[in-house]
Amino acid sequence: MTEQTAEIAALFEQCGFEPNSDFQRDILDASQRFVQVTGGEQGGKSVVASKFLLKRWPSDMQKNPNEGTGEGMPILYWLIGHSYAETEKEFGYISDDFTAIFGEGIVQSTKRIDPGKIEVVFPGERHPRLRIETKSGQDVRKMSKDAPHGIILCEAGQLDIAVFERAQGRVTPRNAWLLNVGTMEESVGWFPMLAAEWASGADDRKSFRLPMYANSSLFPGGRNDPKILDLERNSSDDFFMERVEGIPVPPRGLVFPEFRPDIHISSVERVKGEPVYIWVDPGYSGSYYAVEIANVIDGQVRIFDEIYEKGKITEEITSICMNREWWREPSKYGVADIAVHQHQGMPPMYQVWMSQTGLHMASRKVGIPEGIERMKSFLKIDPITHGPRLIVDPGCRGIISEFGASPNPDDGQLRAYRWGTDREGNVVGRVPKDANNDALKAVTYGLIDRFGYTQSANRKSIPVRRR
């Protein structure tokens, strides 16, 4: 047994903890900086998360010899949940662990967790040696002050990808670690998708699962515990895989399953001086008025802003646009659904855009299969740059939800662009359901206007608008 292993074993012994399954051991033995745990319900995720922090703490002190001494700044960890309530279990276990190690007189823990703080403070020392703080994911702006030595995202499946992006940014300065732990929320969004992408352990990223039956105190029979077998008999396959096994079940029938949050979602800033592309689908019958705003840099489409509104008329949308900073750019190009030429008892929308903003809206009729092919071509990895041809800022939640990578920004439900499916999940029909696709259609019109159709559209001439 190495010295470090003996030290960790001693810490666990002081806390009265011993890994009781290979699932727990594999997670705690992980060496990667970025670790994800998809857990079944009651699988002991919070306990494992607390011990993950405890095990990393000695090495964090070794890496930062001037911190955590009582004279310099403390070793700092964050617990982040969608709300403070999601951090409560981890906060309690961590407080108990360090109290068992140092004693009640040394460990100072707040009674409240909104926000909460745990500090290890020795008498006569200027600073705490250790500090754990809780954070709410509902305000990512409060996550920009410090650079912690490690972050735990609690019930990560409930968090927006913007919180995950911010957490990644905050661990960068110290080359610190990040643990995402939680239960799948209908297997939608960035959290379950990363489970598959990180499974190999490449690029210092590794995903694990912690099934319900890994909690031997509740299920001493493990996978064959009678309670687990009974639940398997009396629940759907999808429920059992997701909520018991901790295995993501991808949403069925997505039109664009090629869209991957870890590849296609990235913080995007407008490039000043570059043309701004304004792609519009006005939406009808209670759907969204979607405006997607992009730069095209070296052939890569970068969607950096979005207007995604229900119940607003064109005059209101144009007003929102003209109040955005990017509107000041002199070069702007608009593309819209052919429906902007329809009257419907009022002036055509393209006339409203022209009269209100002076912006001409190009439009053409685009077939559904041709539009899908063009979008899919931009979801591929560019063989030359080895990067994505299309990226979306995490703040553009409307189009991300239509791709199926996050819940709808208004009601939190999964409302993705899908094919019709039968009871077994097989695709039926030749065209997808015409719903939850307003932002996607806007971008499709823009891509075809800017780049033309794909070769598979079997057109003798491919019209491309030159800029």
Mean pLDDT within 241-265: 84
Range scoring the smallest mean pLDDT among 26-35, 158-167, 438-447:
158-167
CATH assignment, 261-457: 3.30.420.280
User: Rounded distance, CA 309 to CA 107, Å?
Assistant: 49
**Is the pLDDT at 284 greater than 60, yes or no?**
yes
- Domain spans of the chain? 3-245, 261-457
**Is the pLDDT at 467 greater than 60, yes or no?**
no
Mean pLDDT within 347-355: 87
pLDDT 10s digits, 323-342: 999 999 999 999 998 877 66
The closest alpha carbon to 273, from 331, 356, 214, belongs to 331
Contact 62, 84 (CB under 8 A): no
The DSSP output letter for 332 is: E
**Is the pLDDT at 250 greater than 80, yes or no?**
no
The closest alpha carbon to 47, from 8, 94, 86, belongs to 94
Range scoring the smallest mean pLDDT among 25-39, 88-102, 128-142, 220-234:
128-142
Q: What is the pLDDT of residue 187?
A: 60
Confidence of residue 253 (pLDDT cuts 50, 70, 90): confident
Mean pLDDT within 145-160: 91
Range scoring the smallest mean pLDDT among 14-18, 136-140, 257-261:
136-140
Mean pLDDT within 233-239: 88
Buried b / exposed e along 442-461 (16+ C-beta atoms within 10 A): bbbbbbbbbbbbbeeeeeee
Question: Is the peptide bond prior to 115 cis by the omega test (within 30 degrees of 0)?
Answer: yes
Q: What is the pLDDT of residue 3?
A: 56
**Is the pLDDT at 387 greater than 50, yes or no?**
yes
Which of the four CATH numbers 1.10.1740.10, 3.40.50.300, 1.10.1060.10, 3.60.20.10 does domain 3-245 have? 3.40.50.300
Q: What is the pLDDT of residue 462?
A: 40
State the average pLDDT for the chain.
89
Cα–Cα distance list, 450 to 3, 24, 328 (Å): 61, 51, 21
Q: What is the pLDDT of residue 247?
A: 82
Question: CA torsion sign, 83 to 304 to 389 to 337?
Answer: positive
pLDDT 10s digits, 395-423: 899 999 999 887 788 876 778 999 988 87
Confidence of residue 211 (pLDDT cuts 50, 70, 90): very high
Are the folds of 3-245 and 261-457 the same? no
Q: Is the model's pTM score more than 0.85?
A: no
Cα–Cα distance list, 376 to 78, 418, 455, 456 (Å): 38, 14, 13, 12
**Is the pLDDT at 18 greater than 60, yes or no?**
yes
Please indicate whether residue 421 or residue 65 has the higher confidence score (pLDDT).
65
Contact 290, 314 (CB under 8 A): no
Q: What is the pLDDT of residue 188?
A: 66
